[in-house]
């Protein structure tokens, strides 16, 4: 029987290999008795990160107070797709754009800039029904999850193959070294295929090349929400489960989250409404000017296009203005995150030399 919300946050396992200060919560939101959370649990143990496991009943969800102690939440639905705790089930698509959203505690967690990774089958089907479905700006899954179109489901909509044979590493994937993802059976049924919004990053796309929905994403991230509509807990080689490949994926994704790859660019409480960002490039240097509504200490991070933090510093500003010299920074696209009193403003800028 699953543990209820007495929140026996099972042993926070700390191993010394990774940063013990970065913590992960694994939420098992599957009422079908799958063993997938157990093998993800093992992969987290192998990663060396501090983590806890929460197995929840079908009518309960952790509150923000329960979640906020963790830097990252991995929420697995395995093969369940009925009344998931993931969603705010009081809302339906009929209530208008944006009405479908995560449960209240999880919404607050995501809006606070923490990283959420949802993995499993049918969590989109659970709330939207079958494909196809188009989304637009204003829809929660478009704005927060980076889903433009819900194109199809494997096995339900394909014809060349019966189910999804594999996923292939996308060219935009700089996080995980594994080139191909397969399962311990020959194909995966009911994996969702998406077109994604500008700015979303695909990690793995459907394959092989002659598959009906080849090139459509099933594993992506947008800002600080990761979506993988597959069963990573069943990863394998077509005949048997492979823990080592799951370890590569889980360890790589948690490390990327710790290193700031998943950059929050909207939805945070924003007190820096008058923040202006300008870049003044010339052939030899560029400066970025932050003008703030108040003079106070400001935390500044700058990320390159892969998510690597290249600048991380505290700015002591006496007049509300600070100029960051970009000498030595190569031409390209960058992200910034400025934090004042726990509220953040984020965006993009280009350096041209």
Are 196 and 319 within one domain? Answer: no
Do 93 and 62 sit in the same domain of this protein?
yes
Domains identified in the chain, total number: 2
pLDDT in tens, 285-321: 456 665 554 556 677 777 776 667 788 877 765 665 6
* CATH code for position 337: 2.60.40.3080
Q: Is 269 helix (H, G, I), strand (E, B) or coil?
A: coil
Whether residue 146 is found in the same domain as residue 235: yes
- Global pTM exceeds 0.75: no
pLDDT attached to residue 264: 55
Query: What does the alpha-carbon distance between residue 219 and residue 24 come to, in Å, rounded to a whole number?
Result: 20
Domain shared by 347 and 204, yes or no: no
* Per-residue pLDDT reduced to its tens digit, 221-235: 988 999 999 999 999
Instruction: Give domain status of residue 169, yes or no.
Output: yes
Q: Which of 229, 258, 287 is the endpoint of a domain? A: 258
Same domain membership, residue 328 and residue 239: no
Q: Is residue 60 part of a domain?
A: yes
Domain assignment present for 270: no
- Tell me the C-alpha distance between 206 and 48, whole Å: 30
- Same domain? For 84 and 185 the reply is yes
Is residue 56 located within the same domain as residue 151? yes
How far is residue 311's CA from residue 80's CA, in Å, rounded to a whole number? 42
- Answer whether 152's CB lies under 8 Å from 213's CB: yes
Same-domain pairing of 290 and 342: yes
Residues of the chain whose pLDDT is less than 70? 1-20, 58-59, 89, 91-98, 263-297, 305-307, 316-328, 331-333, 340-353
Give residue 216's domain range.
10-258
Is position 5 within any domain?
no
């Amino acid at each position: 029987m699953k543990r209820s919300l007495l929140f026996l946050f099972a042993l926070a396992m700390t191993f010394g290999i990774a940063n013990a200060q970065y913590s992960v919560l694994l939420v098992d939101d599957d009422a079908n008795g799958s063993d997938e959370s157990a093998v993800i649990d093992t992969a987290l143990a192998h990663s060396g990160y501090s983590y806890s496991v929460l197995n929840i009943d079908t009518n309960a969800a952790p509150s923000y107070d329960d979640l906020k102690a963790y830097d990252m939440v991995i929420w697995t639905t395995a093969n369940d797709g009925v009344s998931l705790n993931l969603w705010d089930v009081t809302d339906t698509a009929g209530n208008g754009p944006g009405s479908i959203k995560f449960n209240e505690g999880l919404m607050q967690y995501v809006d606070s800039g923490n990283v959420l990774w949802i993995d499993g089958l049918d969590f989109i089907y659970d709330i939207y029904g079958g494909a196809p479905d188009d989304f637009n700006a204003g829809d929660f899954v478009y704005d927060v999850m980076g889903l433009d179109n819900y194109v199809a489901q494997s096995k339900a909509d394909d014809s060349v193959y019966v189910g999804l044979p594999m996923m292939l590493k996308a060219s935009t994937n700089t996080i995980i070294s594994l080139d191909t993802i397969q399962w311990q059976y020959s194909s995966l049924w009911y994996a969702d295929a998406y077109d994604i919004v500008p700015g979303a990053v695909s990690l793995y796309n459907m394959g092989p090349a002659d598959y009906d929905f080849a090139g459509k994403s099933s594993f992506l991230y947008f800002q600080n929400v990761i979506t993988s509509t597959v069963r990573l807990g069943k990863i394998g080689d077509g005949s048997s489960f492979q823990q080592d490949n799951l370890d590569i994926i889980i360890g790589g994704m948690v490390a990327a989250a710790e290193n700031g790859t998943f950059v929050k660019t909207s939805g945070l409480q924003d007190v820096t409404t008058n923040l202006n960002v300008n870049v003044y490039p010339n052939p030899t240097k560029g400066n970025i000017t932050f003008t703030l509504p108040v003079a106070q200490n400001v935390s500044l991070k700058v990320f390159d296009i892969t998510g690597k933090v290249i600048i991380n510093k505290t700015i002591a500003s006496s007049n509300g203005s600070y100029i960051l010299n970009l000498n030595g920074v190569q031409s390209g696209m960058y992200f910034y995150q400025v934090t004042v009193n726990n509220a953040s403003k984020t965006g993009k800028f280009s350096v041209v030399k």
